[in-house]
Structure 1
Amino acid sequence: MRRILAAVALTATLLATAACSSDDEKSDQAGVGTKVSVGVIPIIDVAPIYLGKQKGFFSSRGIDLTLVPEQGGAPIVKGVLAGKYQFGFSNVTSLMAAKSDGAPLKAVATGVASTGRPGRDFSAIVVADGSPIRTAKDLAGKRIAVNTLKNLGDTTVRQSVRQAKGNPDNIQFQAMPFPEMPAALQAQQVDAAWVVEPQLSEVLTQGGQVIASNFVDTAPDLTVAMYFTSTQVIDKDAELVKHFTEAINESLKYAAGHPEEVRSTVGTYTKINEVVRTAMILPNWSNGINRPSIERLATLGRQDGIFTKAPPLDELLP
């Protein structure tokens, strides 16, 4: 009798295990997708890729997307080259600097662009309430926060100073994450800061002032950043690159047409209050890359010593 009961129990166990295995297999099959990690910066620029993930633009193309926050474009470039990320979001200066050094990188899509409107761009140089600094010319010799050194912030801030007939040579740049800049301004740890949204609106709600629109001062409709990958990923899985590019382009287009969803999405990956959420100036998201604006950045970057030689744009741009 015991043997019979044992046999029945064993059979029941095997049937249950088989059923669970079948369910697990179905579950696994339902969630099948190539795991893809993307390095991003927790600022408004990358709202489209977060929104695209929510809307299923990536999963519908077989991509299981993970977004990893970093402080700036330079560490993301290193992460892609090291194989930590399959794709990354980076400002064009970081990409040109890496390409000038021979890095095997290739842009696959635009990332974000300036609105081209002075005083109404998503990027600005700001000062705290009560600051004696009134124009970009007054920034000569001052301490200015940027997210990373010898990068996009340096070049565009210097260009605003040049435009205002000031001396850009002795500016003291200090690196810090964008989210820390509003508090640093309030505490007078820096004299000014280069911020983008949502930190721009955060500074303004604290009484801060915009003294220059650095992207607008640099080039009309500046292409600020791009999504990119390594040539190794392109050679290994061209189909994945194709699907990722399609998904990010759909995400950019959707974000451009749904500003209120963008505002809500930003609050899912960076802390903002309702006032900031409503006040944010949204960037220009398009599917095009403005090459002349990138060429302008390349020229200024060489002038500022960021590039030792002209970046090979034909090899970098899609």
Structure 2
Amino acid sequence: MLRHAMSTSRGYRRRAALGLALTALVTVTGCSALGGSDSSSSSGGGGLEKPKIKVTAMPTIDMAPFHLAVKNGYFKEQGLEVEVVDVPSGQASLTKLIAGEVDIAYGSYTPFFLAKSKGAADIKFVADASSAAPKSTLVVAMPNSQVKSVKDLAGKRIAITGENTICDTLTKSVMKDNMVDSSGVKWVPMPFPQIAASLQRGDVDAGFLTEPYITAAAKQVGAVPVVDTATGATADFPTAGYGSLAKFTDGNPKTVAAFQKAMQKATKEAADRSKIEPLMVEFAKIDQDTAALTTLLTFQSALDARRLQRVPDLLKDQGTITARIDVNTMIAPQASIS
């Protein structure tokens, strides 16, 4: 972990090397939209090995419980001070984690498993974040598009945030479930906010979207659903979580437990939708009407190895990783909330 500022020359060389390595390994961006740069304060360490930690944050709905924990002082209750480090993508989040610039990284599960499979890092999952709920992850198209159903996706141009992300992973899976060949698909990477306009211009035939972009695209350009990717083999599929390095989780078990307890409390509170909508308005910069119509992901906190095993198993089935990964070896001990 990087606790103090590194020297300029050494720091730049190290970050540059790690950035290049990870860029070659995986291109990943997060899903949904939310964000923030708040931090919580602590009145004391409470016996924690490391009472001040850095956690990456991305503009994702999945992080709503985390922001609740910050805003409501749940980390502070555990004697933990959290500095939020905003990152633009899962790749950037993972890069900072491996570089030792943060202690815990948020991201979709795909880049964590890719890093593990390539031997880039000894990843340990600290907490779950979300899974795909019905109609929260869709492939959409314009009403006048030739793409009317999942059967029409073969050989088409499909907008995603990046290859080997949760976006194409879910899309390939639902195509396979419907006996549609995905090998000829042209995956077109772009940020979620650009997909609606790209559909309207005809630059792509379809696009993978999560909320609130699904609702926003419907309002802005009239985009309509083609297929719900949270169905079949990927129904209730784990989408994102919080990872760290084994040396941090092994050396700071009380700190990890404090983070987990705060997240468990906030995740339970996130079941109240009225707690989430103001965060979307504040951080995702969408209007209240769009926030009210948004379909939320299913928020999770405690990690379930059997459920999470679905992710690397699907990645192996799709050829994204070559060898089976046992999730049990990647889960840090889980604290129980009293």
TM above 0.5, yes or no, is yes
1:114 and 2:132 aligned: yes
What's the secondary structure of 1:190's corresponding residue? coil
Alignment-derived partner of residue 122 in structure 2:
104
1:89 and 2:106 aligned: yes
Alignment-derived partner of residue 252 in structure 1:
267
Alignment-derived partner of residue 233 in structure 2:
218
Alignment-derived partner of residue 3 in structure 2:
none
What's the secondary structure of 1:37's corresponding residue? strand
Match of 1:235, as an amino acid?
Answer: D
* Range that drifts further, 106-115 or 172-181: 172-181
TM-score (norm 2): 0.78
Match of 2:258, as an amino acid?
Answer: H
Q: 1:184 aligns with which of 191, 195, 198?
A: 198
Q: 2:143 aligns with which of 111, 126, 129?
A: 129
Alignment-derived partner of residue 285 in structure 2:
271
Q: CA contact under 8 A between 2:155 and 2:185: conserved in structure 1? A: yes
What's the secondary structure of 1:58's corresponding residue? helix
What's the secondary structure of 2:309's corresponding residue? helix
**Distance in 2 of aligned mates of 1:293 and 1:30:** 34
Alignment-derived partner of residue 14 in structure 1:
none
TM-score (norm 1): 0.82
Q: CA contact under 8 A between 1:37 and 1:67: conserved in structure 2? A: yes
Q: 2:173 aligns with which of 159, 162, 169?
A: 159
What's the secondary structure of 2:139's corresponding residue? strand
Deviation at 1:290, TM superposition (A): 4.8
Q: CA contact under 8 A between 1:76 and 1:89: conserved in structure 2? A: yes
Alignment-derived partner of residue 90 in structure 2:
73
RMSD over aligned Cα atoms = 2.1
Deviations 1:259-305 (A, max 9, x none): 11201112222221222111001111133445444333323312322
**Distance in 2 of aligned mates of 1:209 and 1:293:** 30
**Distance in 1 of aligned mates of 2:233 and 2:91:** 20
Unmatched tracts of structure 2, length 5 or more: 1-40, 46-50, 333-338
**Distance in 2 of aligned mates of 1:217 and 1:183:** 29
Mark the CA change 1:173 to 1:30 in structure 2 (over 3 Å): closer, same or farther. Answer: closer
Mark the CA change 1:274 to 1:306 in structure 2 (over 3 Å): closer, same or farther. Answer: same
How do 1:1-318 and structure 2 match up within 5 A?
34-102=51-119, 103-115=121-133, 117=134, 121-206=135-220, 207-256=222-271, 258-318=272-332
**Distance in 2 of aligned mates of 1:49 and 1:30:** 16
**Distance in 1 of aligned mates of 2:82 and 2:197:** 32
Match of 2:115, as an amino acid?
Answer: A
**Distance in 1 of aligned mates of 2:304 and 2:209:** 22
Match of 2:286, as an amino acid?
Answer: I
Deviations 1:101-127 (A, max 9, x none): 232111111110122x3xxx3111111
Q: CA contact under 8 A between 1:43 and 1:196: conserved in structure 2? A: no
Mark the CA change 1:81 to 1:170 in structure 2 (over 3 Å): closer, same or farther. Answer: same
What's the secondary structure of 2:298's corresponding residue? coil
Match of 2:174, as an amino acid?
Answer: S
Deviation at 1:227, TM superposition (A): 1.2
- Report the count of equivalent residues: 285
Q: CA contact under 8 A between 2:313 and 2:325: conserved in structure 1? A: no
Q: CA contact under 8 A between 1:128 and 1:203: conserved in structure 2? A: no
**Distance in 2 of aligned mates of 1:218 and 1:302:** 14
**Distance in 2 of aligned mates of 1:147 and 1:69:** 18
Mark the CA change 1:266 to 1:66 in structure 2 (over 3 Å): closer, same or farther. Answer: farther
* Range that drifts further, 63-72 or 259-268: 63-72
Mark the CA change 1:72 to 1:145 in structure 2 (over 3 Å): closer, same or farther. Answer: farther
Deviation at 1:32, TM superposition (A): 5.6
**Distance in 2 of aligned mates of 1:156 and 1:30:** 40
Mark the CA change 1:238 to 1:285 in structure 2 (over 3 Å): closer, same or farther. Answer: same
Unmatched tracts of structure 1, length 5 or more: 1-28
**Distance in 2 of aligned mates of 1:144 and 1:68:** 31
* Range that drifts further, 293-302 or 43-52: 293-302
